[in-house]
Amino acid sequence: MRIGVLTGGGDCPGLNAVIRAVVKTAIHQYNDEVVGIKDGFSGLIHNHTFALDLDKVSGIMPRGGTILGSSNRDNPFAFSQTVDGKRVEKDVSSVVVDNYNLNKLDCLIVIGGDGTLDIAHKLSAKGLKIIGIPKTIDNDLSATDTTFGHDTAIGTVMDALDKIHTTAESHHRVMVVEVMGRDAGWISIAAGIAGGGHIILIPEIPFEIGKIAETIYQRKARGKHFTVVVVAEGATPKGGDRTIKRIVEESSEKVRLGGVGEMVARELESITGLEARTTVLGHIQRGGSPSAFDRILATRYGASAVFHAHEGDYDHMVALRTPEIVAIPLEKALHQMKRVPLEGSHVVTARRVGISFGD
């Protein structure tokens, strides 16, 4: 076979491990050819491709990011162009089909999150043979137990919390750490537990500033004159809404979250009189060398994707259903956000050890 592979959406640790596994499995097991497609679907729109061989993937497993490049702007069904000074969206999916055929591809492996895989599913309806691989540090795809990149992001946040603990304790401060995750609290709750957070605010549990202040007072009464608060970017106050940093109309993700950490710190300082500082970890959570867990999971995904391509399981996505990697139809895997269950083990465990959710 001649297999194309692309990475779409935001980058995350483990993408290169997937690419490496695809190439090595395709060549060693099936004597396939692999074509790398640059910058997500942009590469199929503009026909920017190159041959992927064993030499090109040698040594890339520890590297963050993706050697293919990525993009979350180039949806071929709504490709943004400037015409007569005005920005318009055009359906160029037929160009993608033409370039798929021009490159003589027998299959396209698409690595991405919900938006990228939705595009892949639509391209399947136009005749492209596609296998999807789920990717997001947010771990919010319901069809798989976990996504690669998530474990590494947790480790990055945990390391930051370890460091923030020391300055919080030294200066008797309230330290608020804002982390990614959008509308799911998986990163914040997992990293908060692992990093010794005292208060964790997640989108699934609306918080009250007064309740957070009570926890701080209780800690102070026990002789603990500092508090570490972990806040998911999509966390919301009771009766309120998400804190939006800005709106980017031309982006596939128009709503950019951010600022909830600063809001929480400001209100806590006003109520408690304690000095409160905010740290926003931002895109540092997307970078770095993938953890051992993510390297193994990414390798399993890549190898399984090539296997299922040869089995003819097109318009499917590989997914972790512990302990197996299985293939499920893309239409059943999309548009179902996996949120932190309120009665699940993460929340229950956190409450048992005295962590507050501000509720």
Return the active site residues. Answer: 138
Rounded CA-CA distance 145/147 in Å is: 7
Question: For the chain, what is the largest distance between any 2 Cα atoms, rounded to a whole number of angstroms?
Answer: 71
Of the chain, the end-to-end C-alpha distance in Å amounts to: 55
CA torsion sign for 119, 120, 121, 126 is positive
Rounded CA-CA distance 224/48 in Å is: 57
Rounded CA-CA distance 113/84 in Å is: 33
User: Measuring CA to CA, which residue among 192, 267, 193 is closest to residue 230?
Assistant: 192
Rounded CA-CA distance 259/264 in Å is: 9
Kindly write down the DSSP assignment for every residue of 85-127, as one continuous string.
TEEEEE--HHHHHHHHHHTT-SEEEEEE-HHHHHHHHHHHTTT
Rounded CA-CA distance 242/262 in Å is: 13
Q: Is 143 helix (H, G, I), strand (E, B) or coil?
A: coil
Contact between 142 and 148 under an 8 Å Cβ cutoff? The reply is no
Contact between 265 and 213 under an 8 Å Cβ cutoff? The reply is no
